[in-house]
Amino acid sequence: MGISKNTQRAIEVFVLIVAAIFVMPIILVFITSFKPEPEIIRFQGILPIQWTLENFREILGNPEEIPIFRWLLNSLFISSMVTLLVLTVSSMAAYALARLNLPGGRILFFLIIATLMVPPQILLVPVYLILNPLGWLDTPLALIIPAGAGAFGVFLLHQFFKGIPKDLEEAAAIDGCSKLGIYWHVILPLSKPALATLGIFTFIGSWNDFMGPLIFLDSVEKYTLPVGIALFQTSYYAEYGLTLAASVICTFPIIVVFLFFHKFIIRGIAMSGLKE
Amino acid sequence: MSNQTPLPEPQEQLPAVGPTARGVENYRGNARRRIIRRYSGYLFLAPYLVLFFSFLILPLIYGFWLSLVDYEMLSPEPPGFVGLDNYSEAMDDPYFWQAMKATGLYVGMAVPLGIGLALLMAVLIDSLPQKRQGFYRLMIFMPTMITITVAGLVWRWFYHSEFGLFNAMLERFDIWVPWLTDTTWAMRSIVLMSVWWTIGVPLVILMAGLKQIPVSYYEAAAIDGATGYRRFLYITFPLLRPILLFVVVLSIIGSFQVFGQTFIITEGGPELATRVIMHYIYDTAFNFYRMGYGAAMSWILFAVIIVFSLLQFRIFRER
């Protein structure tokens, strides 16, 4: 397309170098977590001279001081619950708003979409004060329930549901299908890609959330992985080996999820940008 | 009585209210039924609406009210209405301005650098064979997936002035950089790390935008002899503009709320040079428990963000 073969080759080399620079820190973390502490502090080359599992052994074998499995389970539980909640309430709401022609539905939809402009961070102080009398602070509920209020899921699914042909729904209605039946047997099965995209998005967002658990949780054993690892900054400040091993444990699941589902993730982001 | 006027077809199909119901009552029953049916959709909406109003609309209003009272969580006195005092306190607070300056500096560097690099890479990758585009996009996107604590702690190690990886690598060129210890360098280091960490989303959106430009435009341009940067300037850029605007606004809004990077890598230092506004709000509300003042600064930030979004929108529209 108007570019010579040589130019294209030069471009590709450049792109490859930049891409390698972006991935390099991640690879470095993985490799360096297998180095003994002195080798980490005094850089002698990218690969370890002496491979060791000592960092992992120390971090996993110390559950009283570093309850990393606990944090892992907390993170898994909270992220799964948030994903389930968001998928359920958003898909029901999006179905009602996109397909049921509710009185006042348009105004409500507009109100919901308008809140996409509100940065979630400015809500932290009031949400904290609302959760306090409910007794939800320092419990997983503080991170799970408010997460269901986000408008992004409703917006994404609404746009998708709108595109599903009406005749399928009408055919199901003639066969005596109720609204609940149509939602469950027609809309949801047809929306699997959109639901998968939203689900993965929500899961990763919740898994990586930092400010929420930092503010809403207090007890070390209730922490999620990201906040737990932030503890290293204060307690194990100088021990890079431990920090790196903990980072690998926290990052590995996400990288795996990402490599498996990157198509959904990337499609979801592209969708959210192009629909505007 | 009942066989005087045959009911119209559709109503006959609906189940009658009762076997002895009269026509009029039957009709009224159907009307009620119809209303119930119309509103029954709200049952689907109800769970979301409860959450939406409790944890989005209510906090929004409550937050605004908070910004108008003197609410210190640790003080036994009930919160008293102080009007706009919290806002005028911010105007006279040197720490507030310092935080605003740090935030402005961050936005001013991170947005153009991040979007510029994302645009460059998107255009370059788009010109490569289709088969390998996904691979490069995947690689550049990967850092975005990593949680801020991990990314922050790792970069903190990279930047460490003695044990850090960067200075160790630069040593052989006799270069030593005060990455995090110098007030000017600290913010640059934060921006560099942030570009690495946040470029994924704009890159993906821009690449999707490029895919939407019809190939025929480029073919026409090729016939007219337009190549290289001209192609970009006269076809790609104008057609990509709405999506570029979206990405820029998204990036500005996100950058104004920067928190994790500075909180973990520099802890706001040195000499508060990297304590951004979100960090100051966090300190005010959750370390000093001054909820009212914290909420007021949140609303100032919100106002700034909205002004910037609208401003951007107008600039791009007028062109």
Is B92 found in the same domain as B79? no
Q: How does the average pLDDT of chain B come out, rounded?
A: 83
Is B251 found in the same domain as B112? yes
Residues spanned by the domain of B234: 87-318
How many residues are given for chain B? 319
Contact flag B278-A43 (C-beta cutoff 8 Å) = no
Chain B residues closer than 8 Å to A225 by CB: 147
What architecture is domain A70-225+260-274? Orthogonal Bundle (1.10)
Is B245 found in the same domain as B280? yes
Is B128 found in the same domain as B81? no
Q: What is the pLDDT of residue B22?
A: 52
Is B156 found in the same domain as B20? no
Q: List b or e across A125-158, with b for residues whose CB sees 16 or more CB atoms inside 10 angstroms.
A: bbbbbbbeeeebbebbbbbbbbbbbbbbbbbbbb
Predicted ipTM beyond 0.95? no
Select from A11, A20, A210 the Cβ nearest to the Cβ of B124.
A11
Residue B98's CATH number: 1.10.3720.10
Q: Is residue B303 part of a domain?
A: yes
Is B151 found in the same domain as B112? yes
Domain count across chain B? 3
Is B99 found in the same domain as B59? no
Is B242 found in the same domain as B96? yes
Contact flag A16-B136 (C-beta cutoff 8 Å) = yes
Q: What is the pLDDT of residue B12?
A: 43
Residue B228's alpha-carbon distances to A7, A120, B115, B123, B231, in angstroms, are 10, 42, 20, 11, 5
Is B285 found in the same domain as B213? yes
Is B58 found in the same domain as B78? yes
In the predicted model, is pLDDT for residue B254 greater than 90?
Answer: no
Q: What is the pLDDT of residue B27?
A: 63
Select from A15, A207, A232 the Cβ nearest to the Cβ of B128.
A15
Select from A11, A207, A266 the Cβ nearest to the Cβ of B147.
A207
Is residue A244 within 8 angstroms of chain B, CB to CB? yes
Is B285 found in the same domain as B153? yes
Q: Is residue B4 part of a domain?
A: no
Is residue A174 within 8 angstroms of chain B, CB to CB? no
Is B120 found in the same domain as B106? yes
Q: Is residue B263 part of a domain?
A: yes
Q: Which helix (H) or strand (E) holds A241?
A: helix A240-274
Chain A residues closer than 8 Å to B298 by CB: 121-122, 124-125
- Nearest CA-CA distance, residue A198 and chain B, Å: 15
Select from A22, A102, A121 the Cβ nearest to the Cβ of B196.
A22
Picking from A1-15, B22-36, B274-288, which range would have the lowest pLDDT averaged per residue?
B22-36
- Mean of pLDDT values over A56-69: 82
Half-sphere exposure of A118 (CA within 13 A, CB side): 25
Is residue A95 within 8 angstroms of chain B, CB to CB? yes
pLDDT in tens, A241-267: 888 888 888 888 888 888 888 887 787
Select from A96, A128, A149 the Cβ nearest to the Cβ of B42.
A96
Give CA–CA dist A146/A127, Å, rounded. 8
Contact flag B286-A23 (C-beta cutoff 8 Å) = no
Q: pLDDT category, B313, cuts 50, 70, 90? A: low
Q: pLDDT category, B317, cuts 50, 70, 90? A: low
Domain boundaries, chain A: 70-225+260-274
Chain A residues closer than 8 Å to B62 by CB: 126, 129-130
Q: Is residue B107 part of a domain?
A: yes
Q: Is residue B101 part of a domain?
A: yes
Q: CA angle, corner A88, sides to A87 and A93, nearest 5?
A: 100
